[in-house]
Amino acid sequence: MPVDIAKGKKSFVQKCAQCHTVEQGGKHKVGPNLWGLFGRKTGQAEGYSYTDANKSKGITWEEDTLMVYLENPKKYIPGTKMIFSGLRKKSERTDVIAYLKSATSE
Amino acid sequence: CYAKTRQTFSAKRIIHLLSLTFSLNIAMASRLTLVLLCLTSLWPCALACPPLCKCYARRAEVVCSEVPLTEFPSEGLPADTTMLTIQLTNITTVSERHLNATPLLEGLHLYSNHLQSLPSDLLRGVPRLHTLDLTGNRLVDLPAGVFHHAPLLTLVLKNNRLERVDTEWLSGDSGLTWLDLSGNRLTAIPPGLFKKLPRLESLDISHNRLEKIPAKSLDTLTKLERLNLQKNKLVSLDPLLFHSMTNLTNLYLTDNRLNMLPPSLFQSLGKLKILGLEENQLGHIPPGLLDPLSSLDEEGLDLTGNPWLCNYKTEHLWRWLQKNKGKVFLPEAIRCAKPNPLAGRSVLSFGVNILLGSLLALVDYDYGWRLGVLASLCCPSHCECSLSVWSTGVVCSQSDLSLFPVEGLPITARLTTSSPLNLSVRCGRRPERRAGPGVYLQLYHSNLETLSGRTSSKAFHSSTPWTSLGNRLACLPPNHALHHGPLLQRYCFRTCPT
């Protein structure tokens, strides 16, 4: 199925927006603001207090790493404080990641 | 390490003893001592870490993930641990005694283990615990007092096997702000549960088996911002259920069995941004239901996946959609399921509505004609009337009709070909020879026992061979058009006596 950014946004609002903002200059909530996420290493959003496990994961956030992460975040980064069991459906993950890409960068 | 000076004395003695006993030099003896002290948890040292786990000393975080643990890793757990993650292991229980080893614990993450039960007073030894995640375990039931003692803010019981929730699990002064009970087997909510949770901001009971939410049970949730009731078995909602939730911003009723919504249901939800009503059994929206939702986001309302009945009752929805198209997710996917001729049509595809007293006629826009309004289209009770460019449809099928609908039939419709086109419809007691668009009648599968003898045979267009199917007609009036229609070949009707 082709990527659907509108559906991705809908899923994001329901499952992620409680803890994360996406816009530039958006505030940190329970989780960090995600502006500038793509191409950045884990645990780097300024001003947010990450766990050491997250900071030391050492990978860079791109479509492929996000695909693995968002399926089972706690498995990918053991010791993260993000309490989210994941998006099991591949199509939903693809849509959310597409939305994220559009919403967190110029 | 407050006990350091005391330890130092014993450590010195041990080092001395070891070096004497095993002929070790002092350096090696020191190292050995340190390790021994760490293992026996006498020394809260930075080196300590349970085997199979990873420790991050800076913030006292311990992570034991996807390792063959069968019981709680008490050995070597640093006493100053603030965040403990034990996940994807085979441990089956955690006890108060285990947690007594980490009195400074703030976050306990027990995702995806094999926990089957937890003891009462589990959290007595962790007075700073604010976050407890028990997602993905095998909890079936919990004892009273299980979550007492700790000032929990976040409690996640997602994806377990809980068949009930008990108010006694929580303490009386609970400051819980986030409660997640989704993915369990709950069939009911105890009415008093949320009285204990006045500070709740986020409540997720999705993916359970709730058939109803007791009236008034949510009245104390005045701070609630997010409520997720998706994927339950809710058929109806008490009209006052959400009345006190003035701070609600996200409400998900998706994927239930709701077939109607009380008109005042969303009265207090002036701050609501997102409303999920998709995948229910809604046939229509009562007038006024959506009007209080002044804060809806762009694409914030989802009405797709419902079997909309497109008849005169659809007017309110149609008007609201016209005015608020941007607020709706995929507006063209809001489709009629009934009546049959309109099935699959998007509700918005009807170009013009005709205001009819209390009726709506949906005008078929296929030929691009714009119709101006204006007359009263009548419709017999038990029937649904619709207007298209070429005919007026009166559908009384599959209804409780037992007498031919003599009263209130739309009997003629006159179209003038000016722009906008003018439509006038005459209502009357019986169908007559049509002067404009024809009248076709569908009367099948009702309980008709007779056709009135006063009906004119000319009113029945010959393209209604199915008029009498499935009824209980014993005879047809004389000169009835059906005598000549194709139906006769299949059914033999005798003529009614005049």
Q: Sorting pLDDT into bands at 50, 70 and 90, what band is B336?
A: confident
* Contact between chains at A83 and B226 (C-beta distance less than 8 A): no
pLDDT in tens, B201-214: 999 999 999 999 99
Which segment of B276-280, B400-404, B414-418 scores lowest on mean pLDDT?
Answer: B414-418
Mean pLDDT of the residues in chain B = 75
**What 3-state class would DSSP assign to B208?**
coil
B311 pLDDT above the threshold of 90: no
Mean pLDDT of B328-344: 83
Measured between CB atoms, which of B56, B154, B330 is closest to A53? B56
Q: What pLDDT was estimated at residue B84?
A: 98
Q: What pLDDT was estimated at residue B268?
A: 97
Measured between CB atoms, which of A10, A75, A83 is closest to B156? A83
Mean pLDDT of B84-110: 96
Higher pLDDT, B129 or B30: B129
Which segment of A30-44, B68-82, B450-464 scores lowest on mean pLDDT?
Answer: B450-464
- Percent of chain B with pLDDT strictly greater than 90: 52
Which segment of B109-118, B224-233, B320-329 scores lowest on mean pLDDT?
Answer: B320-329
* Contact between chains at A78 and B87 (C-beta distance less than 8 A): yes
Q: Sorting pLDDT into bands at 50, 70 and 90, what band is B33?
A: low
Mean pLDDT of B47-71: 92
In angstroms, how far is the first alpha carbon of chain A from the final one? Answer: 26
How do beta strands B226-228 and B202-204 pair?
Answer: parallel
Q: What pLDDT was estimated at residue B348?
A: 78
Q: What pLDDT was estimated at residue B138?
A: 97
CB B449 within 8 A of CB B471: yes
Q: What pLDDT was estimated at residue B488?
A: 36
Q: What pLDDT was estimated at residue B312?
A: 58
Interface-testing mutation among B85, B204, B252, with chain A (most A C-beta atoms within 10 A):
B85
In angstroms, how far is the first alpha carbon of chain B from the final one? Answer: 110
Q: What pLDDT was estimated at residue B445?
A: 34
B150 pLDDT above the threshold of 90: yes
Q: What pLDDT was estimated at residue A99?
A: 98
pLDDT in tens, A21-73: 999 999 999 999 999 999 999 999 999 999 999 999 999 999 999 999 999 99
Q: Sorting pLDDT into bands at 50, 70 and 90, what band is B358?
A: very low
Mean pLDDT of B23-48: 58
* Contact between chains at B59 and A52 (C-beta distance less than 8 A): yes
Range ranked top by mean pLDDT from B90-94, B334-338, B392-396, B468-472: B90-94
Higher pLDDT, B219 or B338: B219
Q: What pLDDT was estimated at residue B391?
A: 47
Q: How near does any CA of chain B get to the CA of A52, in Å?
A: 7
Higher pLDDT, B271 or B27: B271
Q: What pLDDT was estimated at residue B75?
A: 86
What is the C-alpha to C-alpha distance for residues B422 and B373, in angstroms, rounded to an integer? 7
CB A19 within 8 A of CB A45: no
B73 pLDDT above the threshold of 50: yes
Interface-testing mutation among A4, A12, A14, with chain B (most B C-beta atoms within 10 A):
A14
Mean pLDDT of B161-183: 96
Chain B residues in contact with chain A using a Cβ-Cβ cutoff of 8 Å = 54, 56, 58-59, 61, 63, 65-66, 83, 85, 87-88, 107, 109, 111-112, 131, 133, 135-136, 154, 156, 158-159, 202, 226, 228, 250, 252, 274, 276, 297, 299, 302, 329-330
CB B437 within 8 A of CB B391: yes
pLDDT in tens, B366-392: 222 223 222 335 666 666 665 544 445
Set of chain B residues whose Cβ sits within 8 Å of the Cβ of A79: 54, 56, 61, 63, 65, 83, 85
Set of chain B residues whose Cβ sits within 8 Å of the Cβ of A10: 299, 302, 329
* Contact between chains at A75 and B274 (C-beta distance less than 8 A): no
Q: How near does any CA of chain A get to the CA of B57, in Å?
A: 9
B473 pLDDT above the threshold of 60: no
Q: Sorting pLDDT into bands at 50, 70 and 90, what band is B434?
A: very low
Q: Sorting pLDDT into bands at 50, 70 and 90, what band is B249?
A: very high
Measured between CB atoms, which of A9, A78, A85 is closest to B159? A85
Residue by residue, DSSP assigns B130-190 as -EEE-TTS------TTTT-SS--SEEE--SS------GGGS-TT----EEE--SS------
Per-residue exposure over B246-272, b if at least 16 CB sit within 10 Å of its own CB, e if not: ebbbbbbbbbbebebbebebbbbbeeb
Higher pLDDT, B28 or B223: B223
Q: How near does any CA of chain A get to the CA of B304, in Å?
A: 13
Q: What pLDDT was estimated at residue B37?
A: 60
Mean pLDDT of the residues in chain A = 96
Interface confidence, given as ipTM, is: 0.96
Range ranked top by mean pLDDT from B16-30, B61-75, B452-466: B61-75
Q: What pLDDT was estimated at residue B6?
A: 43
Using CB atoms within 10 A of its CB, is residue B9 exposed (0-12), middle (13-18) or buried (19+)?
exposed
Mean pLDDT of B153-173: 96
* Contact between chains at A79 and B56 (C-beta distance less than 8 A): yes
Higher pLDDT, A50 or B358: A50
* Contact between chains at A78 and B136 (C-beta distance less than 8 A): no
Using CB atoms within 10 A of its CB, is residue B15 exposed (0-12), middle (13-18) or buried (19+)?
buried
B462 pLDDT above the threshold of 60: no
What is the C-alpha to C-alpha distance for residues B59 and B62, in angstroms, rounded to an integer? 9
B271 pLDDT above the threshold of 60: yes
Q: Which residue has the tokens 């992460």?
A: A69
Q: What pLDDT was estimated at residue B97?
A: 95
Q: Which residues contact B274 (CB under 8 A, 6 or more apart)?
A: A13, A14, B249, B250, B251, B252, B296, B297, B300, B301
Which segment of A4-13, B96-105, B116-125, B451-460 scores lowest on mean pLDDT?
Answer: B451-460
Set of chain A residues whose Cβ sits within 8 Å of the Cβ of B133: 83
* Contact between chains at A14 and B252 (C-beta distance less than 8 A): yes
Mean pLDDT of B231-255: 98
Q: What pLDDT was estimated at residue B413?
A: 45
Set of chain A residues whose Cβ sits within 8 Å of the Cβ of B61: 51-53, 79
